[in-house]
Amino acid sequence: MRKGIRKGIKHISIITFIVFAGGIIWLYGTNSGHKLREMIGGSILSSQHPQFARLLLSKEEIHQLQTAIYAPPTKKSKLPNGLFPHKKQPLSVTVEPIEDPHFTAKVMKVNDPTTIHLVSTKYHDQGQPLSDLIEQNGAIAGINAGGFIDPGGVGRGGQIIGIALSDGMIRSEPGFSEDTRNLICGFTKKGQFITGMYSINELKRMNVTQAVAFEPQLIVDEKNMVTDQIEEAFGWAPRTGIGQDAEGNVFMIVTDGRFYWNKNHRGASMRDMVSLFKKYKCIDAFALDGGGSATMIYKGKLQLKPATETSVGMRYLPNAFVIIPKE
């Protein structure tokens, strides 16, 4: 009996080794395995622990992905001609869910783009949860916006990165030059969505009142901007994005991910985000900060649980896009 058990264990060990060895060969010796390693590596690079990407990728591969993250191809969107019909309509804000095998998305539609404002933390060196940013600005809903420097990965959210304009006022990082260009998205005073490489001075001349820096662009003038390298560089994660259709309607999309609250949800890729915005006929769309920062609130309720653990149940943010009804 014992001899049979030992023999069975030996067979199981051999099979396990063969499966493991076969998996390693596939992962490191095939094109599909390489793509999976890059997608996982990209997911790690955009997390709070990018150093672990070295377990899957070479220095050169990591450098290529980092180039796609920090210097993606860009294009300036065209401003639509004329005014949108929103001025004759009452404000309408709706939220609907989309279920995907790999993530849940919440899609917020806002019919009046001139009610969308970029608001910032009131503190010098610490961010605020989205709930506070909404409440203190008299808003009814919102999503997280730009990124922040995060020494030690503690998520204080106070050190904003790059350009930020709130109702025409500069909220950018200290010492930021008004002539330095960043990849941004934002809105003109008329509610026209804009994205591209711009400086603060250029944005002011174009009458842009709300703007924030991040990356990458998702859709510009109906063109998909997500290349293979961008797709692999950003991997899968909780996501936040914002876009506009030809009628002026604004769509804010947030997804869950990183297996944080749903053990089957790895998150959305950038191409997943493009598909979501295309579904709502957006002609321009832009990716905002994701990961643990991805947050949406509507009428005082979190629409998805953020992939983070804090005392308030959400990340501390430097700024957010919120909807403030007109008086």
pLDDT value of residue 63: 84
Q: How far is CA 65 from CA 30, 41, 54, 218, 224, in A?
A: 19, 9, 12, 17, 19
* Residue 257 clears pLDDT 90, i.e. is over it: yes
- pLDDT at position 259: 93
pLDDT of residue 21: 46
Mean pLDDT of 151-156: 73
Selected residue with higher pLDDT from 280 and 87: 280
**With 80 as the cut, is the pLDDT of residue 35 above it?**
no
Closest to 314 (Cα-Cα) out of 303, 325, 327, 326? 303
Residue 16 has pLDDT above 60, yes or no: no
Q: Name the token pair of 188.
A: 């003109």
pLDDT at 19: 46
* Phi, psi of 297, rounded to the nearest 5 degrees: -130, 135
- pLDDT at residue 86 in the model: 62
Q: Is residue 182 within 8 Å of residue 193, measured between CB atoms?
A: no
Does residue 315 have a pLDDT over 90?
yes
Amino acid at residue number 62? I
pLDDT of residue 3: 54
Least confident of 7-21, 232-246, 287-301: 7-21
Q: Is the pLDDT of residue 11 over 50?
A: no
CB-based burial label for 278 (10 Å; 0-12, 13-18, 19+): middle
Q: Cα separation of 250 and 263, whole Å? A: 31
pLDDT at 157: 80
The whole-number average pLDDT for the span 182-196 is 97
Q: Name the least confident of 3-17, 215-229, 255-269.
A: 3-17
Give the model confidence (pLDDT) of 36-83 as tens digits: 777 777 678 767 678 777 877 788 888 888 888 888 999 999 987 666
Residue 270 has pLDDT above 90, yes or no: yes
What does the alpha-carbon distance between residue 109 and residue 84 come to, in Å, rounded to a whole number? 15
Q: Is the peptide bond before 216 cis (omega within 30 degrees of 0)?
A: yes
More confident residue, 9 or 207: 207
Helix axis angle, 31-45 relative to 59-70, nearest 10°? 60
Q: At 232, phi and psi to the nearest 5? A: -75, -35
Q: Enumerate the domain spans of the chain.
A: 2-70, 85-323
The pLDDT of residue 132 is above 70? yes
Out of 79-83, 234-238, 258-262, least confident range: 79-83
281: alpha, beta or left? (left if phi > 0; alpha if psi -120 to 50) = left
The full DSSP string for 107-159 is: EEEES-GGGEEEEE-SSSS--B-HHHHHHTTT-SEEEE---EE-GGG-----E
Amino acid symbol at 3: K
Query: Quick check: 251 and 243 in contact, CB under 8 A?
Result: yes
Angle at 180 between CA 177 and CA 186, to 5 degrees: 105
Residue 195 has pLDDT above 80, yes or no: yes
Give me the mean pLDDT over the 121-148 stretch. 95
Collapsing DSSP to helix, strand or coil, 21 comes out as helix
Who wins on pLDDT, 184 or 260?
184
Query: Taking the chain, what is the end-to-end CA distance rounded to the nearest angstrom?
Result: 84
pLDDT for the residue numbered 104: 98
Can you give the pLDDT at residue 139? 98
Whole-structure pTM value: 0.88
Annotate 189-206 with b (16+ C-beta within 10 A) or e (fewer).
ebbbbbbbebbbeebbeb
Helix (H, G, I), strand (E, B) or coil at 27: helix
- Say if residues 181 and 199 touch (Cβ distance below 8 Å): yes
Q: Is the pLDDT of residue 95 over 50?
A: yes
